[in-house]
Amino acid sequence: MTINTIIDTLKREIDSYRFNHSLNVMETAEALARQYGADIHKARLAGILHDCGKNYKGEEARRFVKRIGYQAEEVEIRQPKLLHGIIGEYLAKEMYGVTDEEVLGAIRWHTTGKAGMNLLEKIIYIADYIEPLRSFDGIETMRRIAFEDLERCIVYCSESTIKFILKKGVLLHKNTVDTRNYSLMLIKDRNENI
């Protein structure tokens, strides 16, 4: 499937807010890929498809991942929104014909991040956060840091997620904590080596 066919198909599959958000993530991911020397086509592809699994909610999401043989963690079962990366990865492969493992990984991990993300995974994680439709306290700083220092931006994004989750009083996925700690350790190592 060409990216234009994917865009046309996706437009029919998801609601218009989610579709516009996906277009924005695609454009933002492209800008970040140019800044950091990542593959532009892969960044666009992962960006447009990152939320393609978002239609499946609650019990439907639980059933979906069970059917594809994913062993969901307790936190994910209780907070099924966390499953849309897994579902998205599956749909990207089966419905949109994506075979590139980097693109699939970026879709899979975009919600929580994980320790030791590759460049494309980092770009999609951040693009999802800073795309133009997003508005919250600190977003301007986040947008600036995104183009200056990817690692610092990840710390900023994951801390913002953690604060939001604590405020809401819902479950926190351990991968979000790992994402934050891992990037923070890289920054500390880097500073010690100067």
Binding site for Fe ion (CB under 5 A): 51, 128
Kindly tell me which of 121 and 128 has the beta carbon lying closer to Fe ion. Answer: 128
Kindly tell me which of 138 and 188 has the beta carbon lying closer to Fe ion. Answer: 138
Q: How far is the CB of 156 from Fe ion (least distance, A)?
A: 17
Assign 5 to helix, strand or coil.
helix
Q: How far is the CB of 84 from Fe ion (least distance, A)?
A: 6
Q: Which amino acid, one-letter code, is at 15?
A: D
Q: How far is the CB of 167 from Fe ion (least distance, A)?
A: 19
Is 106:50 a contact under the CB 8 Å cutoff?
A: yes
Kindly tell me which of 30 and 51 has the beta carbon lying closer to Fe ion. Answer: 51
Instruction: List, in sequence order, the alpha helices (H) in 50-173.
Output: 58-67, 74-78, 84-94, 101-109, 119-130, 139-146, 150-168
Kindly tell me which of 93 and 187 has the beta carbon lying closer to Fe ion. Answer: 93
Q: How far is the CB of 22 from Fe ion (least distance, A)?
A: 7
Taking alpha carbons only, the member of 21, 19, 47 closest to residue 32 is 47
